[in-house]
Amino acid sequence: MDAEVVVDAGDPVGVIDPNVYGHFIEHLGRCIYGGVWVGENSSIPNLRGLRRDVLEAVRAIGPPVIRWPGGNFASGYHWEDGVGPREERPLRPNLAWGGNESNQFGTDEFIDFCREVGAEPYICVNVGSSTPEEAAHWVEYCNSNGTGEYARRRVENGHPEPFRVRYWGIGNEMYGPWQIGYMNATEYADAALRFALAMRGADPTIRLVAVGWYGHDGWNRRVLEVAGEHIDYLSVHRYYGTQGRLDDYYTVVAYPQEAEGGLRNLTQLIDEVMAEKPGRTVKIALDEWHVWRPAPQYFMDALFAAGVFHVFHRLCNSVTMANLALLVNTPPDGINAIVATDQGGLSLKPVYLAFKLYTENTGEIALRTTTTVGAYRAGRVGLDQVPFLDCSATIEGDGATLYLAAVNRHRHKAVRCRIELRNFTPQPQCTVSELYAPSPDLLVPPNPLEITNKTVNVQEAPFFYTFPPHSATILKFTADTGSPAP
C-alpha cells in the first residue's frame, strides 16, 4: 500500500501539554496494595513502603501527573482516615469496590510516590458523601504554609513544607448510579460551584477539574453554565470495548478516531458556553481512558494508545490533561500499564511501551500534517473512513528536532510512504524507533515485546519509508545547521 505525508514545520497547531501523558491510581484490586505500596516490612524491596520495581518502571516513562484516590473510590473516601501514624489509622469498608480499606496508603504516601517518580499530584475529592468544608480542609492540609489546624497537622505528621498540590478534581462520575451520592446535572453543577468556592478559599492558586460526561451535552452545558467561571478543566472518561467481549483488531485501532470526534464536539460546546464568560477558559481532562478488556493485553493495544496520543497532539489547544486508567495491577488484567506480582515479579504491558515510545520521542509543538492513504470502514464505532496510516508530527521549541509518528493500522500490509518535510532540512540520517510484533494478537506477557531502534538515510527530498503492518513508528530528524525554526 502507498501513502503520502506532508509535514510543514512552519505551520504549528499549538503547544502540547505534557500532562496528556498522565496516569491514574485507585484503591481497586491490587493497584495500591501490592502494586504501588507493599509496606516497609515487606519482603519485596521497597522505599519507605513504596515498591521499588514499580518506582523504577514508572520513572522510566516519566509521568507528568498522577491522579488519585479515584475513581469511584473517591466518593466514599474521607481523607483524614489516611493521615497520621499508620498504626492508628482506621480500617474502613471500601464502599466502591468491596472489601476493606486499611488506609495505610494516604495523602502523605501518595505525595511521596509522586515525588519519587517526578509527577505532579492530582487529587480527586469526595463529592458523593462529603462536604465542601472537608475538601477545603484537605487543600489546607496539602498546601497551606500558615498556622491553621490542618496545616499544623501536616507539620505534626513530619512535613513542614507544603505539598503544593496544584490539580484537584471535584468528584468522579457523579452522573452515574454506580457512584456513591450520584446527582443530576443541576445538583452536580451547584455542588461543583460550592466545592470550588470552598477549595479556592483555602488556596486560590489551585487548578480545578469538574466532572463532565462524554457525549452528554446537556450535563456538560449545565456544569459550564453554573460553574464554568470557577473551574479550569472539564473531565470526561472514555473506555472502549465491553467487559466479556474482545473487539476485532480493526475496531480497536479505530477507537482513537471516534475519540477525536467526541473530543472535538466537546471542544465546540465549551467554546460556545465560555464565549459568554469572557476572560475564562476551560480545557478538557480525559482523566480516565483505555480499552476495556477482561483478559491480558494484546499488542494491538499499543497501537490503540499510540493513536490516542495522535489525537492529543491534534487537539493540543483543548485537551491538556489525560490519565491512563490504570497505572498498575488493576482487574480486569487488561486495563493497566504494569503488572507487579506478590512474588516480586514485574511485567510491562504494550501500552506501557507506547508511553515510553512517545514520551521519549515527541516534541513540544504539534505541526500540521497531511496524510493521503487508503481507508476502511469500522462499523462498530460508526466510522466510514478510517485511514490505514495515522500520522502526527511534532517539533522541539528551538526547531532543532522534528518527529514524525505513524501508526500503520493495516493488519497485513506494509505502507510505503512518500514523506515531504517543508520548512525543515534534515541531516542525512534519521533515527527510527518502532513498536512491532509478529501478530497484533500477540499476548504480552508471556511473549516479550520491545522498542527497536535503527538509523535510515534521508538524503533525498522527498524520501520514502516503509511502515510495517500493525506497527507504531517514530522517525526523529535533526535539523541541518541553519534550518529554520517554526
Domains, the chain, ordered by start: 2-13+364-478 (2.60.40.1180), 17-359 (3.20.20.80)
Nearest Cα residue to 188 out of 221, 214, 155? 221
Our CA angle for 335, 64, 409, nearest 5°, is 50
484 vs 319: CA distance, rounded Å: 28
Give the per-residue pLDDT at 380: 86
Give the per-residue pLDDT at 245: 54
Give the per-residue pLDDT at 241: 81
pLDDT at residue 356 is higher than 70: yes
Q: Tell me the sheet residues that pair with 452.
A: 434
pLDDT at residue 242 is higher than 80: no
The rounded percent of the chain whose pLDDT value lies above 90 is 89
Of the residues 101, 120, 260, 288, which is catalytic? 288
173 is annotated as an active-site residue: yes
**Mean pLDDT of all residues belonging to the chain:** 95
Q: Which of 85-99, 131-145, 404-418, 447-461 has the lowest mean pLDDT?
A: 447-461
pLDDT at residue 246 is higher than 80: no
Q: What is the pTM of this model?
A: 0.97
pLDDT at residue 452 is higher than 90: yes
**Mean pLDDT across 299-315:** 97
Of the residues 109, 140, 173, 434, which is catalytic? 173
Q: Predicted confidence band at 330 (pLDDT cuts at 50, 70, 90)?
A: confident
Give the per-residue pLDDT at 333: 62
Could you tell me which residue, 294 or 359, shows the higher pLDDT? 359
pLDDT at residue 236 is higher than 50: yes
pLDDT at residue 404 is higher than 50: yes
Give the per-residue pLDDT at 293: 77
Q: Predicted confidence band at 332 (pLDDT cuts at 50, 70, 90)?
A: low
pLDDT at residue 244 is higher than 60: no
Give the per-residue pLDDT at 486: 45
51 phi, psi to nearest 5 deg = -65, 120
To 10 degrees, the CA torsion angle through 258, 308, 315, 204? 110
Q: Which of 81-85, 111-115, 329-333, 462-466 has the lowest mean pLDDT?
A: 329-333
